Structure 1
Amino acid sequence: MDFKAILFRILPGLILLLELSPPALAQSERVKDFNNNGWYMYFGDHKLNDRWGLHTEVQWRRHNVLKDPQQLLIRAGINYDLTPSAMFTLGYGYIETHPYGDFPAAGTFPEHRIYQQLQLRNSLSRVGLLHRYRLEQRWIKRAGAETSTYLNRARYMLKATLPLIGTSTDAGEPFLAAYNEIFIGFGNNIQRHIFDQNRAYAALGYKINDAAMLELGYLNQIVQKANGTVFEHNHTWQVSLFYNLDFRSN
């Protein structure tokens, strides 16, 4: 059995172990905060030439599905294709977070973020797989603070897509999508939340044309607050538009 086959066998178990560990460590003092949110998102990876491209992204995140503000996220990056199935991205993000839930922040606060990302694509039979590895350097200025707090975070996402017609997803055809993403904090300023959050997602998608796809899905997000005792359980409706432009000349 080759290395890739072994990895695919053990990876689900590792992800499950990481998800289960934080509740076990904090079970005696955990406080649960349940929320219903809505995330409305645009993603674009735009080819400039055979190697280079641009990433653009806007996420409008709302508390109580649509009624109240939760977050505004704007992210951009420079893509470089290492191979046809591997892409590296270096980018910047701005995030504005608003108070929400039963344990809200003291006020609205900004975050500036630099990130490095590697995406690997492959497939198992009809299932397309995307592995995304991301490192983030974060500067967060809490409400009332005079200076920003610097934090490091690592993320890993495994996403699977399954065409519902044929062996590949073509224009005008639906598909299913699912992913799990784990967030781990590290560095000097991490308090009691080394486990930062986990996101589990399932969606129905539709490929509009060669450049555009739409996904309608549900996200179960578990977030551990910095104090280590409050865990958000966020039930989140997601609407995602993927629109990738190709600026290469014919």
Structure 2
Amino acid sequence: MRKSLLICLVILLSAFYTKDALAQKNVKTQELLWTRFALEAKLSENYQIHQELEERTYWFPWRQHQFLSRTYLRRELGKGWNAGLGFTYFLQALPNDPEITDYTNRTELRPQLEIAYKQILSEKIELHHRYWSEFRFFEKSDNAFEYGNNRTRYKLELRYALTPKITLKAFDEIHINLGNKIVQNVFNQNRYGGSLLYMLKDNFGVELGYLNWFQQQESGVDFYNRHILRFTVRYAFSGKKSRS
């Protein structure tokens, strides 16, 4: 019952947040392509290491937007729970305008904590909860790094096994900024979308999906509404089907 109430609360918050934001006039729409490689290596029965590389580019016109490398160690806790500890190297091309070709890159470092829970609703349907906390360190002009803020994320994802090789996914994720420097954009962004995962082999698959990324800027009245096509290649050393 509590989980159902939490799910409803997240959906309502996302709906009200997006509706309120769309009422503002300063909404900029962009189209992007994200290309990702996701690697999973099983170290033991309870431990796995994950590595993700993702290139994010604007489509119209074509220009780099972001690049990230994420590494994390995950431990199975039992009864559907797992926890992870990781680190992300994040590179962003600024300003956030694909028309500007003379851009600069800013580096961000993110130590992160994760806890996740998988609910098996039926033989073919699973509900995944992911709680994620990032500690964001931004590069300064002297190449040093300064702590900016914490960003906490909650992702709710529904997975349906259409066939043994094909899985359909639908998700919604909210991002909340925490810290003394955060004034206007506490509810930083909302991401929702869906995808289709096709496993060519037990340990190798490809995934294609759509993602809507709605983000509030520091001003509190400026927003980005991004339409994203995401392509992922997944490989697992464990020899088991990778659906993470």
Instruction: State the TM-score, normalized to the length of structure 2.
Output: 0.86
State the partner residue of 1:245.
237
State the partner residue of 2:54.
59
- Root-mean-square deviation (CA), in Å? 2.6
In the alignment, the residues of structure 1 paired with residue 172 and residue 25 of structure 2 have an alpha-carbon distance, to the nearest angstrom, of 23
State the partner residue of 2:109.
112
Shift of 1:142: 5.9
State the partner residue of 1:227.
219
**Structure 2 SS opposite 1:108:** strand
* Match among 121, 139, 160 for residue 118 of structure 2: 121
Asked whether the 8 Å contact 2:209–2:229 carries over to 1, the reply is yes
State the partner residue of 2:77.
82
Shift of 1:28: 6.6
Distance 1:65 1:211, change over 3 A: farther
- Establish whether residue 190 from structure 1 lines up as the match of residue 190 from structure 2: no
What does 1:192-211 correspond to in 2, within 5 Å? 192-211=184-203
Of 179-188 and 206-215, the range deviating more from structure 2: 206-215
* Match among 148, 151, 173 for residue 149 of structure 2: 151
In the alignment, the residues of structure 2 paired with residue 116 and residue 78 of structure 1 have an alpha-carbon distance, to the nearest angstrom, of 10
Shift of 1:235: 0.3
Asked whether the 8 Å contact 2:61–2:99 carries over to 1, the reply is no
- Establish whether residue 176 from structure 1 lines up as the match of residue 172 from structure 2: no
Instruction: State the TM-score, normalized to the length of structure 1.
Output: 0.84
* Match among 50, 64, 70 for residue 69 of structure 1: 64
Asked whether the 8 Å contact 2:149–2:181 carries over to 1, the reply is yes
- Establish whether residue 19 from structure 1 lines up as the match of residue 14 from structure 2: yes
In the alignment, the residues of structure 2 paired with residue 236 and residue 59 of structure 1 have an alpha-carbon distance, to the nearest angstrom, of 13
In the alignment, the residues of structure 2 paired with residue 37 and residue 79 of structure 1 have an alpha-carbon distance, to the nearest angstrom, of 30
- The unaligned stretches of length 5 or more in structure 1 are 1-5
In the alignment, the residues of structure 2 paired with residue 192 and residue 102 of structure 1 have an alpha-carbon distance, to the nearest angstrom, of 25
Distance 1:22 1:144, change over 3 A: farther
Code of the aligned partner of 1:193: N
State the partner residue of 1:98.
93
State the partner residue of 1:35.
30
Distance 1:241 1:29, change over 3 A: same
The one-character-per-residue Cα deviations of 1:193-233 (angstroms, maximum 9, x if unpaired) are 10111110111221222212321111011011112111100
Calculate percent identity across the aligned residue pairs: 26
In the alignment, the residues of structure 1 paired with residue 198 and residue 190 of structure 2 have an alpha-carbon distance, to the nearest angstrom, of 25
Asked whether the 8 Å contact 2:137–2:145 carries over to 1, the reply is no
In the alignment, the residues of structure 2 paired with residue 103 and residue 16 of structure 1 have an alpha-carbon distance, to the nearest angstrom, of 34
Shift of 1:130: 1.4
In the alignment, the residues of structure 2 paired with residue 230 and residue 143 of structure 1 have an alpha-carbon distance, to the nearest angstrom, of 25
Distance 1:29 1:46, change over 3 A: same
**Structure 2 SS opposite 1:176:** strand
Asked whether the 8 Å contact 1:219–1:237 carries over to 2, the reply is yes
**Structure 1 SS opposite 2:104:** coil
Asked whether the 8 Å contact 2:21–2:223 carries over to 1, the reply is no
Aligned length: 236
In the alignment, the residues of structure 2 paired with residue 119 and residue 28 of structure 1 have an alpha-carbon distance, to the nearest angstrom, of 34
* Larger strand proportion of the pair: 2
In the alignment, the residues of structure 2 paired with residue 102 and residue 22 of structure 1 have an alpha-carbon distance, to the nearest angstrom, of 26
